[in-house]
Structure 1
Amino acid sequence: MADEMVRRAQRFVNTVYGEDKIGMEVETDGITSWQLMYALTRALQYELGITGLSNNFGPTTLSRLESAWPSIGFGDTPANVTMIIQSALYAKGYDGSGINGIYDERTADAVALMKARMGVGGAYPGSDLVPKVFKALLTMDAYVVVNNGSETICDIQRWLNGRYVKRRDFFIMPCDGHYSRTVATAMIYAVQYELGMADGVATGWFGPKTLNGLKDHTLAVGSTGNWVRLFSAALCFTKRSTTFTETYGPSTAEAVRAFQRFVALDETGRADASTWASLLVSFGDQTRKGAGCDGVTKITNARAATLESEGIEIVGRYLNPGGSALPEKQIQPGELETIAANGLRCFPIYQTWNRAVGDFSYDAGVRAALSAIEWAKRHGFKNGTTIYFAVDYDAVDWEVTEHIIPHFKGVHGTVGENSSYNVGIYGARNVCQRVSDQGYAVTSFVSDMSAGFSGNIGYPLPRNWAFDQIVTKTIGSGDGRIEIDVNIVSGRDRGQNSFAPALDTSGLDTDFDTSLRSTALDEVQRYLEEIGVPETGGDGWTDDDWATIGGNSTTDAFDDVLSMDWLFTDLARLLRLRKALVQAPVLWELRKWNVLDKVADEEVKAGRRDDSSTGWGQIFAWVAIAARNYCIDKGIINGDRLTEDDRRDVWNRLHDDPMYNITTAAYLTIFNAYQTNVPRPGLNTSDSDTQEILARYNGVDEGAQKYGRELIGLYQVLERYNRISRTN
């Protein structure tokens, strides 16, 4: 909502400074924003004589401000500086005295009120504005509880500000009632200050010195003082308590025991160093022994002995190849047998790259799931195994919403439909919890070792955590030497200690050899032209239709099919049939799509008809329902049977989602074999049976028989090049 005084502040910064002096102008919309705060920061830097202006209020700005105006109040401060202060006050919801350039009673009262809300009124008494408060003023931080924040956390924030603000590297944090990266860092500074670390030695980073120092500050029932205040604050931040206190009572001890139990520490009820560490930093006490580990090195008998001597019981290993740089990252032949023979267990991890937001999408999730299912079967992981899909970067909250959650929706749906495996997630705390909250992961493998990730700082351990990765270390010697990531184990996933026979993948289709694209397209074009299908136009199209609506040329249809080759390949491998059997009708229907199909789809969208053949494979919803139900009944796929009530939803998915449409086309080939009374299609299905299956795709009349005769030739062309690809 626009505020006229904020609009006046925006006009002030544009008129007095603007593009010429500070290199920017702000929109005069009356809405507080970081843009306005950045402009006011630059304006202050300009008044301080700083030439390299920046949006950041950094050490140079602070130092110059401390030299020029160490305390601003009733005095000779330049009017422009006072108007910067008054503009910022309005931007933060305080009275800026009309932006009159005079540090008057109204300005002084506003500054005093803000300092009180910051918790620094005792450290900086009176109404003068000091540099650290000025720095905080030029932020979007709030000093009252906002957005359903906690009053207790707000009290803690004010206490921390008031107690430590005069230390060199401690700056005023928001007092908004929310735990955040800023608050988490401030807590570590506070602990280090209480340990007696000098300015410059205290860094806000939890390391061995901090851990060792805390060993002398174990708390128990009866303890009192500021150490208890800090510890109770940490409990509040993890939502294990709501009491901020200086007395360690029985209720505190009980809250500690519950926390220790959750994070797999010894349940002592005492605030020992390990408990402090787990409250303050994601990786906790890195000297802890973990019952689990993961790594990129093959487990041999010698390495298994090293792991066992270290107390390791469960090993995480990768399903898929890791590239030439990591030749042993993937589970190696015979390795799982070695793991089991040595009394160890194994949980599988699936990761291709997954280190940037662009690696995540619904489509990519489907692809990852299909690949992971096959690799898990190839290695012999049994039904019920949880596969951990990786998010191996610091995904911020909007990326989780727009990319990671849709990705795991694809993973979860595909794994659930096509296997009896479970989906787990590897990632930072926030990522794991948010994906799990959507129901897309049963357990979490938490990358807590990455303590600097924004998704770890300020977030509690996910409720469904199975493995907590805390440190990398090398153990053993000689042939038994191995580098591992140590994992604390909750017991929610014990991995597997026996394995099924490896899946035989010989003779299955592989990815299309793209070097064959031109040759294969030429042959497809020649064949279609021989049966009366030109490169463009044809049945159902007029020249005007083609010009105004646009159809698919043979090249368009071929390239569309090639663009989804990974899906055709994965489905064919999963269902153990030839992918050309699915490609042929989809390519044909893409090429033959015409204005009548478009009209029929529009009729369904408008509610004037119930169904139409739609999408890449031109499939009716009622046919999709029948095919999917048949496959569910036969145990080929998992899921609840569909009914007529699902028709519109199925039609929408067939129309809007090419992957759903292609997947349905694959199930339809199996259903069509049943309908034509021929064996389920496999790797060696005869051409005559293939033709019958293809004909049934179009129905049961003479037109369908013609369809089958036309498509068997297209199938044979596609299969010829698929065969070359799989034998190259």
Structure 2
Amino acid sequence: MDEMVRQVQSWLNKTYDKYVAKGDFQTIPENGKTGWTTVYALTRALQIELGISPTADNFGPTTEKLFKPLTIGASDAKPTNINYILQGAFYCKGYSPGGFTGVFGGQTQIAVKMFQKDAGLATQDGVVSTIIMKSLLDMSAFQTVSGGTYGIRTVQQNLNRDYSAWIGKLVPCDGLYGRDTNTSLIYALQKEEGMARTTANGNFGPGTTTSLTNLIPTFASNKALVLLLQYSLACNGLPINQFSGVYDAETTNLVKRYQEFMKMSITTGAITMGTFKALLSSAGDTNRSATACDTSYVLNTDQIDTLWNAGYRYVGRYLTGNVIRGGVRVPKAMNPTEIAAILKKGLKIFPIYQDGGYEIPYFEVPFQGISDGYKAIDAAYNLGFPAGTTIYFAVDLDAYDYQITDLIIPYFQNLRAAFQQNQALRSYQIGVYGARNVCSRLKNAGLVDNVFVADMSTGFSGNLGFPMPDDWAFDQYFEMSIGTGNGKLDIDKVTYSGVDKGVSVVTPPPASDTPNSAAINRARLLKIRDVLYGNSSLAALVDDKVTFELELEKTNSRVISPNLTVIFKASAKLTDPADGGTTVSVKDGKVSASFEKELANWTGSLSTEEAGDTKKIIADLAAKVVVGDITVKWSPAKDFITVSITANIPEIEVTDKYKTSASMSISLIIDNKNKDLDSQWDAITSAVTDGALKTGGMAVFMFALYGVSVFGGGLLAPIALSLIAIGLLIKEFLEKSSTK
């Protein structure tokens, strides 16, 4: 916690509390932590002082118009709220203005000058201009952050020095190449092209492209343009030693190196419009030729001829799925006839898997990667794609960095698990189709073998300000129609790097009524997922996308507290009920009538809520199992008690002619080896030894599981409620057992 930030937060709440009811201010936490909540509060406070209502979180045109520069005051100046806001902004930015006094004195002026220096401004006069105040009231950094480099920070400072007045904003000077730096480079280029400020927009559109093309003949002698080129080379990871503005041997060599890396047609080191555009816009020159493409069309021979005659030699095609075309759902999946025709013509194929991946919720589905991995392997195997083929899985959205961490990486971890499990069937490689940041992070994490870059999406934040991934295989950059008549189709133009050679020969397996192992395992795991996540009590215990992977025969542990561990396992094998415990059979999604009768009699002594919880967990399990059995086993030991719930599912449909089986188990391990539970342990073990958990014993057991004294703060509500429901289920099974 930063005490000065806390003081700023407290002052804001006290000073502007009277504006809360009107909606111009919102009370903020006084936690001493800088964040957007505090920055927004400072912005709204400034707008209130400027007479703006209603207020907003952003420093918009009206705020810019009404704000007047702030300068050092007289020695006897009185505090003002605007100066308090200024000093509060400095504290949130990591600068000390010499105190939270409301007076613009010498120390505050020093802070302003230090900020001007960090921003790279030529004028460091200690005057707070509109552009400085606007930059203070956001979360951008003006000092090098973790991962930032001196070279990129120098580029950012130079852009501020030379172009901030024209652009109307400051570039963050954090040493990281991102959207703001990328956009500012394009603004700077537009200024050097002579574009009017009212026309310039920071996008590399047709006007910018045309103007740059016209400047190419004199480019090398234009110092300002060469500087922007050198800045752009540095931002794309090229190791330039100095920003001289001279098109020297070093610049020529780096341009040549970049042209070769991007597989451009001109690799002499001379600047071209396409080279400069590629440095600043992910798609680059979309008019350039390509030898690869991808398409959702199931290709006929005329369309294959169209591709061949246009110079295409590699085509990306889908393994599964459908697409809407002309308002009609049509297949996009390859078939054996199409594959044979493509390969006969001499084209090579790189397979793509995309049955979703357009929106973030797709990646939130538990174990989606496991399911997709099995489905893709099943399709590739049946179509005859050989071992070593890369299958590209689509992340067809603008995933932010935190979403890559929280969702995309776990998805590909599950994919990797699915591929490893099926190596005996056929060993395929994993590829990703996605924005540059997605591709780079997955490749650096060792989760993909090859990357297919979605550079066509120039507005994606994952492309803006991110260099091209190393060792890229394919680069998609333009969508178009090609051909006429029966040979017409829509394609995406793709640059081929040579990293992935594509597939030229397929060998489909012999026809059989028995599905391959990938299809069988996918059916098992989808059923287990359905059972697990169809029961909210069980799901709350197991749902951890990082810790748990739904893999057959893999034991997964989740430590919920020092005294409670959850073990989960999915298996292709059925568990023998004779191994111990109490078992109830399930048929047509329901437990036996005799058990339902006993359950009704027993739950009559419970509260309405307890009875409902107990009935629901049993009914949910039975409904998902459909046919099989559910076993509960209670295993006491000296310092441990283990409760296991196992579901056998003997009839899982893979195809209309083939069924398989699987089982899943969840074990709760209560641990007293550190003697934390001594005060409750005797009561718990006594209840177990007696063969039943009476109501009082159940209460002791549940307190031991989720009581505050045990967990030092208690469990999260969903887990606690799940344990209660499961505990009641255990109690019922044990009650049932004791009456036999």
SS in 2 for 1:592: strand
The Cα shift of 1:185 comes to 0.8
Deviation of 1:81 after TM superposition, in Å, equals 1.6
Q: Does 1:16 align with 2:15?
A: yes
C-alpha change, 1:64 and 1:411, in structure 2 (3 Å) is same
Answering whether residue 53 of structure 2 is matched by residue 51 of structure 1, we say yes
Q: 2: distance between equivalents of 1:24 and 1:221?
A: 52
Bigger fraction of residues in helix: 1
Q: Find the counterpart in structure 2 of residue 439 from structure 1.
A: 446
Alpha-carbon contact 2:432-2:448 (below 8 Å) kept: yes
Matched, 1:320 2:353: no
Residues 220, 271 of structure 1: 8 Å contact kept: no
Residue 83 of structure 1 aligns with an amino acid whose one-letter code is Y
How many angstroms does 1:592 deviate by? 2.0
Q: CA deviation at 1:220?
A: 11
For the pair 1:134 / 2:133, whether they are aligned, the reply is: yes
In the alignment, which residue of structure 1 is the partner of 2:464?
Answer: 457
Hey, what's the Cα distance between the residues in 1 that align with 2:419 and 2:261?
A: 29
Please give the per-residue CA displacement for 1:596-630, whole angstroms capped at 9, x wherever unaligned. Answer: 4xx4899598xxxxxx9986569xxxxxxxxxxxx
Question: What is the match of residue 388 of structure 2?
Answer: 384
Structure 2 CA distance for partners of 1:500 and 1:220, relative to 1, 3 Å: farther
C-alpha spacing 1:39/1:556, structure 2 compared with 1 (3 Å): closer
Paired residues for 1:328-727 under 5 Å:
328-332=331-335, 334-360=337-363, 363-418=367-422, 419-501=426-508, 504=511, 506=513, 522-523=587-588, 555-561=619-625, 587-588=628-629, 591-596=630-635, 599=636, 603=640, 616=647
Is residue 391–residue 431 contact of structure 2 (8 Å, CA) maintained in 1? yes
Over 3 Å counting, the alpha-carbon distance change for 1:340 and 1:224 in structure 2 is same
SS in 1 for 2:462: coil
Give the secondary-structure state (helix, strand or coil) at the position aligned to 2:176: coil
Other-structure match for 1:90 = 91
- Aligned to 2:160, the other structure's residue is in SS state helix
Q: Secondary structure at the match of 1:114?
A: helix
C-alpha displacement of 1:360: 1.4
State the AA in 2 paired with 1:319: L
Task: Give, as a single letter, the amino acid of the residue that structure 2 aligns with 1:341.
Answer: K
- Cα distance in 2 for partners of 1:166, 1:132 equals 8
User: Which secondary structure state, in structure 1, belongs to the residue aligned with residue 334 of structure 2?
Assistant: coil
CA 1:78–1:59 in 2, change beyond 3 Å: closer, same or farther?
farther
Whether 1:230 and 2:231 are equivalent positions in the alignment is: no
Number of paired residues?
Answer: 573
CA offsets, 1:262-317, max 9 Å, x none?
A: 21113211222111111111111111111111111122222122212222111111
Aligned to 1:103: 104
Q: CA 1:71 to 1:554, structure 2 compared with 1: closer, same or farther past 3 Å?
A: closer
Q: CA deviation digits over 1:310-332, x for unaligned, max 9?
A: 22111111111215544142224
Report the residue type matching 2:481 in the other structure. Answer: T
Aligned to 1:634: none
Could you tell me which amino acid in structure 2 is paired with residue 481 of structure 1? K
The SS at the match of 2:322 is: coil
Alpha-carbon displacement from aligned partner over 1:333-355 (angstroms, at most 9, x marks no partner)? 51111111221111111111112
Give, as a single letter, the amino acid of the residue that structure 1 aligns with 2:49. E
Name the amino acid aligned to 1:412: R
TM norm structure 1: 0.72
Identical residues among aligned pairs (%): 33
The residue number in structure 2 matching 1:294 is: 294
SS in 1 for 2:355: coil
8 Å CA contact 1:218–1:270 kept in 2: the answer is no
Query: Would you say 1:119 and 2:120 are equivalent positions?
Result: yes
Counterpart CA distance in 1 for 2:228 and 2:351 is: 40
Task: Return closer, same or farther for 1:336/1:600 CA change in 2, 3 Å cut-off.
Answer: farther
* More off after superposition, 552-561 vs 464-473: 552-561
Q: What CA distance in whole angstroms lies between the structure 2 residues aligned with 1:185 and 1:429? A: 17
1:44 Cα shift? 1.1
Alpha-carbon displacement from aligned partner over 1:382-413 (angstroms, at most 9, x marks no partner): 22211111111111111111111111111111
Query: What is the match of residue 150 of structure 1?
Result: 149
Q: 1:57 to 1:467 in 2, by over 3 A?
A: same
Superposed CA offset, 1:508-534 (max 9, x none): 68899x9xx9xx9655758x67xx977
> Are the equivalent residues in 2 in contact too, given 1:219–1:270 (CA < 8 A)?
no
1:635-693 Cα offsets, whole Å, 9 max, x none, are xxxxxxxxxxxxxxxx9x97589xxxxxxxxxxxxxxxxxxxxxxxxxxxxxxxxxxxx
Which residue identity is paired with 1:237? C
> Alpha carbon RMSD of aligned pairs, Å?
3.7
Given that 1:57 and 1:135 are in contact with CA atoms closer than 8 Å, whether structure 2 keeps it comes out as yes
Alignment correspondent of 2:284: 284
Moved over 6 A (4+): 75-78, 219-222, 509-512, 532-538, 546-554
- In structure 2, the CA distance between the partners of 1:29 and 1:507, relative to structure 1 (3 Å rule), is closer
- Tell me the secondary structure at the aligned position of residue 330 of structure 2: coil
Q: Partners of 2:667 and 2:381 in 1: how far apart? A: 31
Give the letter for the 2:16 counterpart.
Y
What is the alpha-carbon distance in structure 2 between the residues aligned to residue 56 and residue 269 of structure 1? 44
Contact 2:589–2:624 (Cα < 8 Å) also in 1: no
Partner in structure 2 of residue 665 of structure 1: none
User: TM-score when scaled to structure 2?
Assistant: 0.70
Change in Cα spacing, 1:420 to 1:535, as seen in structure 2 (3 Å) is farther
- CA shift, 1:30, in A, is 2.8
Q: Is the 8 A contact 2:632 2:645 kept in 1?
A: no
CA 460–33 in structure 1, closer or farther in 2 if over 3 Å, else same = same
Aligned pair in 2 of structure 1 residues 347, 363: CA closer, same or farther (>3 Å)? Answer: same
Q: Per the alignment, in what secondary structure is the counterpart of residue 353 of structure 1?
A: coil
CA contact (8 A) 1:241 1:252 kept: no
Q: In the alignment, residue 297 of structure 1 is paired with which amino acid?
A: Y
SS at match of 1:36: helix
Q: Does the alignment pair 1:162 with 2:169?
A: no
Q: 1:148-207 CA deviation, whole Å, 9 max, x = no partner?
A: 42122111111101111121x441011111111111111111111111111121111112
Q: By how many angstroms is 1:19 displaced?
A: 5.7
1:384–1:137 distance in 2 versus 1, CA, 3 Å: same
| Partner Cα separation in structure 2 for residue 164 and residue 413 of structure 1 | 50
> Structure 1 pair 145/19, CA: closer, same or farther in 2 (3 Å)?
farther
- Give the 5 Å matches for 1:33-44: 33-44=35-46
What is aligned with 2:191?
Answer: 193
What amino acid is the match of 1:176? D
Instruction: Give the corresponding residue for 2:734.
Output: none
Check whether the contact 1:233–1:244 (CA below 8 A) recurs between aligned residues.
Answer: no
Q: List aligned pairs for 1:198-217, cutoff 5 A.
A: 198-217=196-215
**CA separation of 1:549/1:113 partners in 2, compared to 1, >3 Å: closer, same or farther?**
closer
Shift in Å, 1:71: 5.9
| Runs of at least 5 residues in structure 2 that lack an aligned partner in the other structure | 535-584, 650-662, 669-740
Q: Which has the higher strand share?
A: 2
Partner residue in 1 for 2:724: none
* Aligned-partner Cα distance in 1 for 2:210–2:112: 41
Looking at structure 2, the residues matched to 300 and 548 of structure 1 have their Cα atoms a distance apart, in angstroms, of 59
CA contact (8 A) 1:260 1:275 kept: yes
Whole-Å separation in 2 of the counterparts to 1:455 and 1:237: 15
**1:661 equivalent in structure 2:** none
Letter in 2 for 1:416: Q
Amino acid at match of 1:594: K
Check whether the contact 1:536–1:553 (CA below 8 A) recurs between aligned residues.
no
Corresponding position of 2:701: none
* Contact in 1 for aligned 2:473/2:498 (Cα 8 Å): yes
